[in-house]
Structure 1
Amino acid sequence: MTDSDATGFLYPFIESEETDAASLLTDLAASARGKAAESSRLQRESLEEYGASLTVAGTQMAERFHRGGRLYTFGNGGSSTDAATLASLFSRPARGRPIAAWSLAADNAVVTALGNDVGFELIFKRQIIAHARDRDVAIALSTSGNSDDLMTAITEARERGLLTIGFSGHDGGRMAAADDLDFCFTVRSQCIHRIQESHAMLGYRLWSVVQVHMQSLRRTITARALDGAHAI
């Protein structure tokens, strides 16, 4: 396979030996607009499909966090960076309450040690075994929904009583059929880039629901405390 064969599907007009600069810029702009429109459409449709489930999942997450639960996110390749971004959104938000959250792919020493010593398919499961409690939440991200290391970690998390959530793409893969996931949000696209963009949006919606519900829980506790003080 030549370099052109490998990248031609991204910008076919570049590989066609375009020599007119103005025409090339026009094609580039049209390509960017088309991708932005497709991304917007996919995000809108994903929200329409999963809006109610995101609210339920976010509410359950908030209740666990209110009891001291923690969030663990994990994924491979590009999805590992998405997992890190999601964990950072929860642990270091621009506003709202920080939540204890970790990306299980972030520590290179741990990941490479586990991969070398016990096998790559166990790099996330072993960390769940070491750290997770039954009040915690596990979120796995995969554009295919078929990664062995994610599925073994999800099964382990479910057995330990964690709330388990999956973000997948295409037809959902093994994630969509897994009994070990409490929620699975499948972005119905064949394009990895568009899937990951929608995963980011769905993650942000989850975070927003969590923040709103945790604020509601704090208000309820404060009101009860005041009522108790007045009764005394």
Structure 2
Amino acid sequence: MDSTRGEASGTEALYPFLSPAHTDVGGVLNEVRRSTQDKVREIMALREQVRLRDGRKLVECAEAMAERFRAGARLFAFGNGGSSTDAQDLASLFLHPGPGWRALPAFGLTSDIAVVTALSNDVGFDVVFARQIGAFGRPQDIAVGLSTSGNSANLLRAFDEAARRGMLTVGIAGDRGGKMAESAGIHHLFVVPSASVHRIQEAQTTLYHALWELTATALGPAD
């Protein structure tokens, strides 16, 4: 099979207006506009679905996180690929929230590339987060892991290690939650019900921003 042709057909399935058959510029622009509007409506509906289903759970999770922070907790966030970037964004949101908000100790476990590559090379990629949790985690701390599939082995290992240490664990997954939905090591799990990685990550970003704001509100303004 010609991989180039396969890739092109896949792209055209997502964005049919990119097909070489389209030569009408005005028509292409109209299709781009319709496609963008469809995706906006899709993510708005997905966010509303998550809000209606998990709104109360988000409040409960935020209150539990605020209680931990009051006791001196630190937050550790982790994920793979695009979820790694989201985990670092989540950590920076808690650590540097902006004027008027309380700064909270939060760390992204993918930020130190030397640690990640050393553990991956010398021990195995499955332990890159669990080993860090094991080294730094204390009973009052918080572990937050993000995955679009919910099946990442290194996240599951990290959640098990965090739960074993008495940490509060928060999972943010997609689709049906994958193996994260079956894990006894996750205290609070939020699942974005979509098969699209793009829509999942967009909704997850909204979800953890809401989780931060609810936690920050529960803690009150900066002194």
Structure-2-length-normalised TM-score: 0.94
Structure 2 partner of 1:226: none
2:171 to 152, 166, 175: 166
Q: 1:54 corresponds to which letter in structure 2?
A: L
2:54 to 47, 50, 55: 50
Report the CA distance between 1:94 and its aligned residue: 1.8
Q: Distance in 1 between matches of 2:216 and 2:37?
A: 33
Q: Distance in 1 between matches of 2:25 and 2:18?
A: 11
Q: Distance in 1 between matches of 2:142 and 2:19?
A: 45
Q: Secondary structure at the match of 1:8?
A: helix
Q: Find out whether 1:215 has 2:211 as its counterpart.
A: no
1:93 to 87, 97, 105: 97
Q: Find out whether 1:13 has 2:17 as its counterpart.
A: yes
Q: 1:113 corresponds to which letter in structure 2?
A: A
Report the CA distance between 1:6 and its aligned residue: 4.2
Q: Secondary structure at the match of 1:171?
A: coil
Report the CA distance between 1:16 and its aligned residue: 4.8
**Cα-Cα RMSD:** 1.4
Structure-1-length-normalised TM-score: 0.91
Q: Secondary structure at the match of 2:166?
A: coil
Q: Distance in 1 between matches of 2:120 and 2:60?
A: 35
Alignment deviations for residues 168-206 of structure 1 (CA, whole Å, 9 cap, x no partner): 111110111111110110000010010011111110111
Unaligned runs of 5+ in 2: none
Residues 82-231 of structure 1: matches in 2 within 5 Å? 82-95=86-99, 96-215=101-220
Q: Distance in 1 between matches of 2:23 and 2:183?
A: 51
Q: How many residues get paired?
A: 218
Larger of the two Rg values belongs to structure: 1
Structure 2 partner of 1:224: none
Q: Distance in 1 between matches of 2:171 and 2:9?
A: 33
Q: Distance in 2 between matches of 1:215 and 1:13?
A: 49
Structure 2 partner of 1:36: 40
